Amino acid sequence: MFAVHLMAFYFTKLKEDQIKKVDRFLYHMRLSDETLLDIMARFQAEMQKGLGKDTNPTASVKMLPTFVRAIPDGSENGEFLSLDLGGSKFRVLKVQVSEEGKRNVQMESQFYPTPNEIIRGNGTELFEYVADCLADFMRTKELMQKKLPLGLTFSFPCKQTKLEEGVLLSWTKKFKARGVQGTDVVSSLTNAMRKHKDLDVDILALVNDTVGTMMTCAYDDPYCEVGVIIGTGTNACYMEDMSNIELVEGDEGRMCINTEWGAFGDDGALEDIRTEFDRELDLGSLNPGKQLFEKMISGLYLGELVRLILLKMAKAGLLFGGEKSSALHIKGKIETRHVAAMEKYKEGLANTREILTDLGLEASEADCVAVQHVCTVVSFRSANLCAAALAAILTRLRENKKLVRLRTTVGMDGTLYKIHPQYPKRLHKVVRKLVPNCDVRFLLSESGSTKGAAMVTAVASRVQAQRKQIDKVLALFRLTREQLVGVRDKMRVELEYGLKRDTHPLATVKMLPTYVCGMPDGTEKGKFLALDLGGTNFRVLLVKIRSGRRSVRMYNKIFAIPLEIMQGTGEELFDHIVQCIADFLDYMGLKGAQLPLGFTFSFPCRQASIDKGTLIEWTKGFKATDCEGEDVVDMLREAIKRRNEFDLDIVAVVNDTVGTMMTCGYEDRNCEVGLIAGTGSNMCYMEEMRNIELVEGDEGKMCINTEWGGFGDNGCLDDIRTQYDKEVDEGSLNPGKQRYEKMTSGMYLGEIVRQILIDLTKQGLLFRGQISERLRTRGIFETKFLSQIESDRLALLQVRRILQQLGLDSTCEDSIVVKEVCGAVSRRAAELYGAGLAAIVEKRREDQGFEHLKITVGVDGTLYKLHPHFSRILQETVKELAPRCDVTFMLSEDGSGKGAALITAVAKRLQQARREK
């Protein structure tokens, strides 16, 4: 009995002595709570630095965006392939995620070796090897005939700009294949897979193992928002608020950040806690100076640290009686599994003796106790350091959520964490001590990271399928060159039809003679009134033209025309117009002055002279009754009479295209075309009298208002009209009419966009599948909004804000799609305009028998003026489709009122000349 006590006393004493000795020797490896709190604070600062746009380039903790935006929600399903490369084992897997709505995942996997000559050889060969393993797996599992999406778990730091891409920043751990750093791993593997003709695999996602782990655990526990690996290497990821991630556009929701915390300290931030052993280990590693935090923590290095310490202690005579074995000198002789075995609770001491004996060391009882304690100090420090960094992440999460207490789950994986007997509980305990206001659940990922990688792939494959659907819709708006040439040639045919007496009555492009026969010559002078009705704004103007100097002064006022008047009775409309004129005269102090008036009336009118215009039919947003078939000049005169307050001399009625051509023609005599790309779409040009069969005489030229908006009304554009164009047409005031206008002009482009968005939403591809009241509202996308949305200078966030202003609550992804839709619709419009214009200028060139034609086009309209790309695309298309015409585009700065006044001036002069005769 006494002997037993004596033995126990002796052993306790021996243990105490050895522990003290080791503790003294490894003083620097034992970190106080204070130091841990300090390290935690340093890591918090590092995270901030890595997230900042300006500070990221010099940050050692890279905080890499992963483009994984949400944890699994249970809706994932399908069959996927998975590769898991970079941990201690390389695996190929097939993952089946349940279809029946219940969370159920089945996996089949196969391990493959990763010999050093492969992972440290040539990069191309590494990827070929991986592809070979995949092919082998698929053959064995009889998957060759299937086309499966693949998720790649790649456990190295990669810079991603999307999910299916990853540029390797640097190899870590045991890997060092040549020619891979700085290149995209996904494309390298895709290329390698091409060598296998029978392999049809699409890599949809690249994920870090931490991300895979987090997702695996989150599949079972929705609170999981952190993933930690303590294995060959060490690292963590977590869900960060988008608004804090400056490297990625958008501020909605969260995105998983791969911290790459292994590189913490690479800038010297941990020099005060690194020991001589850490430095020695680093120097002997594959990547000296790199991954300094990882080298104090992870499985690849722990055993080596222990070996270096034992060697030093032996050298100092503190162990093994000062004897060292040759094995103790060999790098890598002590591995993490040895450390784990030595620290086992009961068998630990016996294991230690066995391991030391295997190393050729003669260890006394005291040596074994000391060695065991060395292991404890080293692995305890590892757990402490991990705990400090993890505590920093948890604090960040809690602060992001503005919570006093955070309840969360951390997904864990890695051999060190899994096989070391004490590690998990030490880590958990320290974390809880460092962040007492977090309730943390540590969840071990039983099935590795692949299950999570499959979840990410499932989401990616759903997104890809959706993308395909969106592309299918957008493709309807992409016109080939052949199609555009077709449009140009058909337009040409319609122009000829409209000019010929026989075909004119049936022509859809009406080719209306305007009785404007020449350009202003600079001798015009006088004061004129002008009206400008039919565009976005209704204006009344006073235009003063001074002869000789080609100078014009204008005063104008914009008046509103309420919808109920636009679509009321004709009398109401013209009474309103006269009311506005009266207000203007009052405002200008001109009451009683009997001025000549030019009336810009932007609708199709059949004219028998310059001052007569019978409205053929309303277009755009007007639908006042009892006007069609009536002379609008008469209607205006009658309204003036009804008011009986003043008299006006209405000299000319002009279309806005004609007014625009004149406005520009005043500056540039080459201007023989007027183009409007605004609320409506139309064009006029100077035609040879001999070609105009409807008007007597063969001499000189006359301006023809083409009214090309009606192009296609005979069905000749049906091959390029989409279901959306048809819907817009059906919902318009004039169904079946103005089909070309409805594909090209400002009033309808927004409507086409709206119809597409409704359809995409119905298909569940936008706005979370919810069609809001706003989206059902006609006309919400005005030209100015389209123009804003498509502006290149706008960040996504601003696009979202515009959509929000329109009452459309969109995510960033939605905003991208909306912008693309707007782009497709407006590009098609600009190209169609270009094709139409090419037909005219080519006709003019041929009619005049020129090899080359130089011509100026006067242009106006909000679409042309405000849209960021419309004018460029229009011009490029004309160049492409009418290569022998040199077309100058001249923007009309002053609107068509000025042109109308000039026409009035000319008409007045002729009128007087006639009277004098």
Q: Hey, which residues are catalytic here? A: 539, 602, 656
HSE, side-chain direction, 13 A CA sphere, residue 703: 30
* Residue (of 237, 610, 520) closest to 390 by Cα position: 237
Q: Between 296 and 766, name the residue whose CB sits nearer to ligand BG6.
A: 296
Counting contacts by CB under 6 A, is residue 871 touching ligand BG6?
A: no
HSE, side-chain direction, 13 A CA sphere, residue 81: 26
Counting contacts by CB under 6 A, is residue 231 touching ligand BG6?
A: yes
SS3 (DSSP) at 444: strand
Counting contacts by CB under 6 A, is residue 336 touching ligand GLC?
A: no
SS3 (DSSP) at 788: helix
Q: Classify strands 167-168 and 158-159 as parallel, antiparallel or unpaired.
A: antiparallel
Q: Between 25 and 748, name the residue whose CB sits nearer to ligand BG6.
A: 748
C-alpha 842, offset from chain centre: 40
Q: Between 600 and 761, name the residue whose CB sits nearer to ligand GLC.
A: 600
Q: How many other CB atoms are there within 10 angstroms of residue 658's CB atom?
A: 30
Judged by CB under 6 A, which stretch of 65-73, 224-232, 239-247, 498-506 contacts ligand BG6? 224-232
Sole binder of ligand GLC in the list 231, 570, 750, 897 (CB under 6 A): 231
Element (H, E) at 863: helix 862-866
Counting contacts by CB under 6 A, is residue 656 touching ligand BG6?
A: yes
Q: Which of the choices ligand BG6, ligand GLC, none does residue 712 contact, using the CB cut-off of 5 to 8 A by kind?
A: none
Beta strands in 101-184 (DSSP E): 105-112, 148-154, 158-159, 167-168
The count of chain residues that interact with ligand GLC, using the rule CB under 6 A, is 38
213 touches 227 (CB < 8 A): yes
φ and ψ at 511, to 5 degrees? 50, 65
Counting contacts by CB under 6 A, is residue 50 touching ligand BG6?
A: no
Counting contacts by CB under 6 A, is residue 229 touching ligand BG6?
A: yes
Counting contacts by CB under 6 A, is residue 750 touching ligand BG6?
A: no
Query: Min. distance of Cβ 462 from ligand BG6 in angstroms?
Result: 23
Contact pattern from residue 118 through residue 157 relative to ligand BG6, giving x for each residue in contact according to CB under 6 A and a dash for the rest: -----------------------------------x-x--
HSE, side-chain direction, 13 A CA sphere, residue 797: 9
Site for ligand GLC in 589-618 (CB under 6 A): 602-604
Q: Between 149 and 231, name the residue whose CB sits nearer to ligand BG6.
A: 231
> Rounded to whole angstroms, how far apart are CA atoms 372 and 860?
87
> Rounded to whole angstroms, how far apart are CA atoms 638 and 380?
99
SS3 (DSSP) at 737: coil
Query: Min. distance of Cβ 602 from ligand GLC in angstroms?
Result: 4
Counting contacts by CB under 6 A, is residue 602 touching ligand BG6?
A: yes
Counting contacts by CB under 6 A, is residue 741 touching ligand GLC?
A: yes
Q: Between 665 and 678, name the residue whose CB sits nearer to ligand BG6.
A: 678
Counting contacts by CB under 6 A, is residue 678 touching ligand GLC?
A: yes
> Rounded to whole angstroms, how far apart are CA atoms 14 and 320?
15
* DSSP secondary structure code for residue 27 in this structure: G
SS3 (DSSP) at 701: strand
- Joined together, the tokens standing for residue 504 give 């004119």
Counting contacts by CB under 6 A, is residue 679 touching ligand BG6?
A: yes
Q: At which residue do the structure tokens 């001249």 appear? A: 890
Contact pattern from residue 616 through residue 645 relative to ligand BG6, giving x for each residue in contact according to CB under 6 A and a dash for the rest: ------------------------------
> Rounded to whole angstroms, how far apart are CA atoms 495 and 842?
12
> Rounded to whole angstroms, how far apart are CA atoms 297 and 656?
77
Phi-psi region of 104 (alpha: psi -120 to 50; beta: other; left: phi over 0): beta
Counting contacts by CB under 6 A, is residue 532 touching ligand BG6?
A: yes
Counting contacts by CB under 6 A, is residue 303 touching ligand BG6?
A: no
Sole binder of ligand BG6 in the list 87, 157, 498, 604 (CB under 6 A): 87
Sole binder of ligand BG6 in the list 50, 520, 659, 710 (CB under 6 A): 659
C-alpha 578, offset from chain centre: 50
DSSP 450-474: HHHHHHHHHHHHHHHHHHHHHHHHH
Site for ligand BG6 in 407-426 (CB under 6 A): 413-415
Q: Which of the choices ligand BG6, ligand GLC, none does residue 448 contact, using the CB cut-off of 5 to 8 A by kind?
A: ligand BG6
Judged by CB under 6 A, which stretch of 29-37, 493-501, 505-513, 891-899 contacts ligand BG6? 891-899
Query: Min. distance of Cβ 472 from ligand GLC in angstroms?
Result: 31
Q: Between 82 and 408, name the residue whose CB sits nearer to ligand BG6.
A: 82
Query: Min. distance of Cβ 68 from ligand BG6 in angstroms?
Result: 15
Residue 611 corresponds to which amino acid? D
Q: Which of the choices ligand GLC, ligand BG6, none does residue 834 contact, using the CB cut-off of 5 to 8 A by kind?
A: none
State the virtual CA torsion across 737, 743, 744, 745 in degrees, nearest 10.
60
Q: Which of the choices ligand BG6, ligand GLC, none does residue 655 contact, using the CB cut-off of 5 to 8 A by kind?
A: ligand GLC
Beta strands in 208-275 (DSSP E): 224-230, 234-241, 254-258
Q: Between 454 and 474, name the residue whose CB sits nearer to ligand BG6.
A: 454
Q: Between 507 and 610, name the residue whose CB sits nearer to ligand BG6.
A: 610
Sole binder of ligand GLC in the list 60, 114, 210, 376 (CB under 6 A): 210
Contact pattern from residue 807 through residue 846 relative to ligand BG6, giving x for each residue in contact according to CB under 6 A and a dash for the rest: ----------------------------------------
Residues in the chain: 917
φ and ψ at 614, to 5 degrees? -90, 120
Element (H, E) at 434: helix 423-434
Query: Min. distance of Cβ 896 from ligand BG6 in angstroms?
Result: 4
Cβ neighbours of residue 889 closer than 8 Å, sequence gap 6 or more: 856, 857, 859, 871, 875
Sole binder of ligand GLC in the list 408, 447, 682, 787 (CB under 6 A): 682
Counting contacts by CB under 6 A, is residue 260 touching ligand GLC?
A: yes
Q: Which of the choices ligand GLC, ligand BG6, none does residue 701 contact, using the CB cut-off of 5 to 8 A by kind?
A: none
Counting contacts by CB under 6 A, is residue 620 touching ligand GLC?
A: yes
Q: Between 343 and 656, name the residue whose CB sits nearer to ligand GLC.
A: 656
> Rounded to whole angstroms, how far apart are CA atoms 457 and 77?
10
Angle, CA of 414, 419 and 423, to the nearest 5° = 85
Counting contacts by CB under 6 A, is residue 737 touching ligand GLC?
A: no
Counting contacts by CB under 6 A, is residue 172 touching ligand GLC?
A: yes
> Rounded to whole angstroms, how far apart are CA atoms 728 and 829?
14
- Joined together, the tokens standing for residue 442 give 């540590």
* Residue (of 592, 572, 576) closest to 540 by Cα position: 576
Q: At which residue do the structure tokens 């003083």 appear? A: 27
The count of chain residues that interact with ligand BG6, using the rule CB under 6 A, is 37
Positions touching ligand GLC (CB under 6 A) are: 86-87, 155-157, 172-173, 208-210, 229, 231-235, 260, 262, 294, 534-535, 602-604, 619-620, 655-657, 676, 678-682, 707, 709, 741
What are the residues binding ligand BG6 (CB under 6 A)?
84, 86-89, 153, 155, 209, 212, 229, 231-232, 299, 413-415, 448-450, 532, 534-536, 600, 602, 656, 659, 676, 678-679, 746, 860-862, 895-897
